[in-house]
Amino acid sequence: MTLPFLIQPFIEYGFMRRALVACLALSLSTTTLGVFLFLRRMSLMGDALSHAILPGVATGYLLSGMSLLAMGTGGFIAGILVALVAGWVSRRTPLKEDASFAGFYLGSLALGVTLVSLRGSSVDLLHLLFGSILAVDRQSLTFVAAVATLTLLCLAVCYRGLVSEVFDSTWLEVNKRRLPTLFHTLFLGLLVLNLVAGFQVLGTLMVVGMMMLPAVAARCWMHTLPGMILLAGIVGVLCSWFGLSISWRVALPAGPSIVLCASVFFLFSILFGGRSRLAVVLLRPFFGKER
């Protein structure tokens, strides 16, 4: 029963195969970015930027309807602008970067919803917020695959620089003054690009779950950065596969089902992961101290 449950819908239906391929591509690129976000202590930035792209996506929708090019371009421009403006405000005012992002992303979310409501329906708004993974066409699939490929190539080429910025940014600033800004800008660009690709599949609200939950869960098990990246990617792939299979069998929304699978693994990891072992702490009063 288990094997047919996991493979039957992807054998019989083309739209399920396209959804699976899109999710697998996103899993490999977004989870890697999520690991670096987690290590930078910027986990909520992904959530902020996912809402920040909504006004640009909505503007593209108002101008050209459900055009992938128009909505993707608008979302990318909006996300980059919010990231740059929020960083500039944090440098020029007493506000920290997280507070600056919070203010801008809340306003962006409200603006995006308002823009969609000017012309669209509640169905269009739900499509932008929660995605329509089972309606992924060849054009969207090609775009997602291209973004994932570009992201992985850029991360592979700039891996040492990104790691240096995360763990020893002071040394990088002293010895190579312009590189930290270059790496930070590249990272933000890749982050926004993946969020734009992800909204086509999971929506602006759900794509952050695929990005951050496997990355945070991997930290509960792994001690090294390559191990975290590898495990996060594997978890993302498995959650995509299981989530789509469960949504097909039980008639649940596909995007939330994938994120719920990732949430289950996250909870399991914080309870039983080798680096967290929360279950041991909770059960210690009942079984006495560890020996």
- Tell me the whole-structure pTM to 2 decimals: 0.86
At residue 190, does pLDDT exceed 50?
yes
* Contact (CB, 8 A) for 117 and 125: yes
**What pLDDT score was predicted for residue 124?**
60
Torsion-angle region of residue 44: left (phi > 0), alpha (psi -120 to 50) or beta? Answer: alpha
Label residue 85 by pLDDT band (50, 70, 90).
Answer: confident
Q: How far apart are CA 81 and CA 216, in angstroms?
A: 27
User: Which structural domain, as residue segments, surrounds residue 270?
Assistant: 2-287
Q: How far is CA 201 from the centre of its chain?
A: 11
Tally of domains in the chain: 1
Confidence (pLDDT) at 180 = 64
pLDDT at 156 over 60: yes
CATH number of the domain bearing residue 106: 1.10.3470.10
d(Cα 188, Cα 193) in Å, to the nearest integer?
8
The reported pLDDT for the residue numbered 291 is: 44
Average pLDDT over residues 117-129: 65
What is the Cα–Cα distance from 224 to 234, expressed in whole angstroms?
A: 16
Q: Which ranges of the chain would DSSP assign to H, the alpha helix? A: 2-12, 14-39, 43-52, 54-64, 68-92, 97-119, 122-130, 138-157, 159-167, 169-175, 179-201, 203-219, 225-250, 254-272, 278-287
